[in-house]
Amino acid sequence: MGDNLLVYVPGLDGDPSPAARLAADLGESWRAEVSPVRVRPWSNRSAAALARELSAWIAGVWAEMGGLGRIILVGHSVGGLLLRHAYLIAQGDDDSREMKAWAQRVSRMVLLAAPNRGVEARRLSFTGRTMAELRRGAPYLTDLRLRWLDHFDRAGDRIQVVQLLGTLDTVVTRDDSLDVEQFGNARHVTVPGAEHHTLPRSHRLLWAAVAGPVRPTTPLLTVEPRTVVFLSRSRDRTWQALRQALAGRADVRTVPARAFLDEYGQVYARHRHGAIHFAGHGDGARVLGQAVAAVPAIMFGNVYLAGSRLPPGFPWSRAIEREQIGRVRDDGNLAVDQVPEVASYLLEVQADAADRLRLDGRAART
């Protein structure tokens, strides 16, 4: 039995065969294990609970082997999302803040068409809780994206991440992998003729991704520091005036509530070293409140509210303590003569917020 460990987490189809082929090629110094922890089509377990269980299972297998060798993680489709979270947990990104020894032995993660931006709602034919939490723009999925970006920004993690994607894949596109491709040791591999469910059968390219040299590809984007203001949609002339006052000074985004978290994730991936602010009224304030409550990793610098429909006791102080919010101003109404002042408030960067916005001193998120 070898000292090194390869972990394979299947997608929804549960096919374990890629692990057997990889094990045969890796030789006697490697042991390949198929995870018993995976996403099942109608599962009602929380995705976070599955990720914690997967992390603990990997720790147990590795310890049983003596805890000395290298580890390679391979995940197909939604199995790749579980692997990403399990790895972050092992790196101390959970309530315990405890780094697990096995995480330091991971040299490579291979993602086979992982829907890193989440699964589009129109493609969800399963109704269980787990798949709902992996939907594009779902709170859990958004939180995972933000935590991944924060971890690699802060830790300078040198793990090699390879994403394989078939040319006939109708579920995942390369644009969905902004989070995993933008760091120095990442590689994108295009697999000709492969569909989403057939990709793991492309053994030659899968073998190269697991055992071959990793030559980083040019990322899809370079992170561009930019000031972004999320603004509630409104036909009110005063709010239109605020939008005009911000134009040219900030990238102003107005998005429907159902797309808010997905858009935030995209903005964070592209512009997180700048500043992200929010201005909302009525139901727009409720959208912000729901996001702050459901996504611990979300962060805004300045928040301006008017005519808020949030309950009076909304815990803003807790959000500020957790560094989700820099500061909050809540007015009853926005008057026309207030527009210049509010625009300046939104665009002002607080001295104590600068480090937070650049991820240099963020408090632990629990």
Residues of the chain with pLDDT > 70, as a percent, come to 93
Rounded to whole angstroms, how far apart are CA atoms 366 and 261? 19
Cβ atoms < 10 Å from Cβ of 52: 18
Rounded to whole angstroms, how far apart are CA atoms 77 and 79? 5
Dump pLDDT digits (tens) for 4-57.
999 999 999 889 999 999 988 998 899 999 999 999 988 999 999 999 999 999
- Cβ-contact 110, 206 below 8 angstroms: yes
Q: Where are the beta strands (DSSP E) in the chain?
A: 4-9, 30-34, 71-76, 106-112, 160-166, 186-191, 227-231, 251-253, 275-282, 300-308, 325-331
How far, CA to CA in Å, does 78 sit from each of 43, 49, 347? 13, 15, 38
Q: For the chain, what percentages of helix, strand and coil (3-state, to nearest 5) are there?
A: 40, 20, 40
Dump pLDDT digits (tens) for 249-292.
999 999 899 999 999 999 999 998 889 999 998 888 999 999 99
**H or E, element range at 149:** helix 139-155
Residues of the chain with pLDDT > 90, as a percent, come to 69
Q: Give the model's confidence band at 364: pLDDT under 50 very low, under 70 low, under 90 confident, else very high.
A: very low
Phi, psi for 238 (deg, rounded to 5): -65, -40
Side by side, which strands form the sheet with 251-253? 251-253, 227-231, 275-282, 300-308, 325-331
> Of 201, 237, 200, nearest to 113 (Cα)?
200
pLDDT at 353 over 60: no
The angle that helices 283-294 and 260-271 make with each other, rounded to 10 degrees, is: 70
**DSSP assignments along 329-346, one per residue:** EEES---GGGHHHHHHHH
Q: What is the mean pLDDT of the chain?
A: 89
Phi/psi-derived region of residue 323, left when phi > 0, alpha when psi is between -120 and 50, beta in every other case: left
Using DSSP, how many helices (H) and how many strands (E) does the chain show? Answer: 13, 11
Biggest alpha carbon distance in the chain?
75
Cβ atoms < 10 Å from Cβ of 339: 19
The one-letter code for the residue type at 64 is E
Dump pLDDT digits (tens) for 208-258.
999 998 888 776 667 888 999 999 888 889 999 999 999 999 999 998 999
Q: Give the model's confidence band at 360: pLDDT under 50 very low, under 70 low, under 90 confident, else very high.
A: very low
